[in-house]
Structure 1
């Protein structure tokens, strides 16, 4: 079964998650935006051997620590979708703009597309391409655990911003309704910021997506 532990990182309090297979104790870091010592310490405390980095998208608070962590631990970088290449190319500019430490450049080991799967030990994450916040945003879904790591697509009571380059409100709403809702109302999602919620609760109460 897939397990996970979430660590808020960076001044933006971005929810980076360590997700692992409880049979093999092999794990992935999802969206290591920064505070890498804290993430490594958490993995060691959990007894997890990190084997890869997974990216939902390439905004600085989600991807800023990726290059350094990959170099430090020799980890492959999986994701996001190629639509976020321009965000990866612009990480240095993003770091300056938002007051982050300089971000090491990186090239994903594997780009992801809708319908792909990623193995974490003996557990499987299904990949859904969910553009709108960024063009290359992906979501990782564990059907067995009833969990989805949704980055900045959806939040408890809100949705992702669409005013950044490549963002589009209608596209984001379509991603939520066509790609997330079919995962089921009981699915708990881990957003990029703030508390967890369920898709069912958001369908009922989130003012941006009620009635969808």
Structure 2
């Protein structure tokens, strides 16, 4: 499995490309501000064919180049319905303090938009993806968990979740923007992430990767959450 990532734009938003391997179809996750040139370079480097763009939520630092890339390659952009309005009106998600950075700019939806549905499995680029709605940072934040193949050498699959701005290494997403709720975010993390296995790798929207176990024991924002531990979807 190929997972390539880089940080782009003023907010250093993590953009990821996920594919079965070089020369195959790929999903682009969260192509934010200034991500397009690096996406094109990575596609060329690994001889990948993009087939979809996945957006973990609707904030502009994660969606800025989505329309450009989706329309360039004639592929759909996936986003939860609650955050879809931000594709055409990103100011509604960033608040008045940050709106000056987009003054005078016009935004539009990609030609093809597909709405994520909580609890669904999406088959894209030869991978089955679990979609879990996790509001709190934004109303339409989602967790994206690919069902990765088993490594023949170890006999097990590496467990990965693309968490957007729900959970970070040592922190959680901000909740002071329109549509945010600190308690709702904690509830989402408790219900959607804490039941997962400790070794699941979290690939967040900003900053370095982490694991569920590391955040369960070391994240200061999660100290009061119930320590729920049980099997979930895809055996997580």
Structure-1-length-normalised TM-score: 0.91
Structure 2 gap segments, 5+ residues each: 149-157, 226-236
- Corresponding position of 1:53: 53
How far, CA to CA, are the matches of 2:22 and 2:84 in structure 1?
34
How many residues are aligned here? 210
Note if contact 1:117-1:127 (Cα within 8 Å) is conserved in structure 2.
yes
Q: Which residue of structure 1 lines up, in the alignment, with residue 2 of structure 2?
A: 3
Q: Secondary structure at the match of 2:217?
A: helix
The question of 1:104 aligning with 2:107 is answered: yes
Q: Deviations over 1:58-105 (max 9, x none)?
A: 1010001111111111111112x1111342232267597263694631
Q: Which residue of 2 aligns with 1:203?
A: 216
1:142-167 Cα distance to aligned partner (Å, 9 max, x none):
24330000000010010000111110
How far apart in 2 are the matches of 1:98 and 1:66? 21
Larger CA Rg, structure 1 vs 2: 2
Aligned to 1:181: 194
**Which residue matches 2:134?**
130
Structure 1 range deviating more: 114-123 or 183-192 = 114-123
Residue 120 of structure 1 deviates from its aligned partner by 2.9
Q: Aligned Cα RMSD in Å?
A: 2.1
Distance 1:21 1:100 in 2: 36
Deviation of the 1:22 alpha carbon: 2.6
Q: Write out aligned runs for 1:54-69 (5 A).
A: 54-69=54-69
Give the whole-Å Cα distance in 2 for the aligned partners of 1:188 and 1:98.
36
| Whole-Å separation in 1 of the counterparts to 2:197 and 2:106 | 37
The question of whether the paired residues in 2 share the 8 Å contact of 1:92 and 1:103 is answered with no
User: Shift of the alpha carbon at 1:18?
Assistant: 0.5
Asked if structure 2 preserves the Cα contact closer than 8 Å seen for 1:130 and 1:176, the reply is: yes
Query: Which whole-Å deviations, capped at 9, do the CAs of 1:18-60 have from their partners, x for residues lacking one?
Result: 0112387110110111320111111210221111110111101
Q: Describe the SS at the equivalent of 2:220.
A: coil
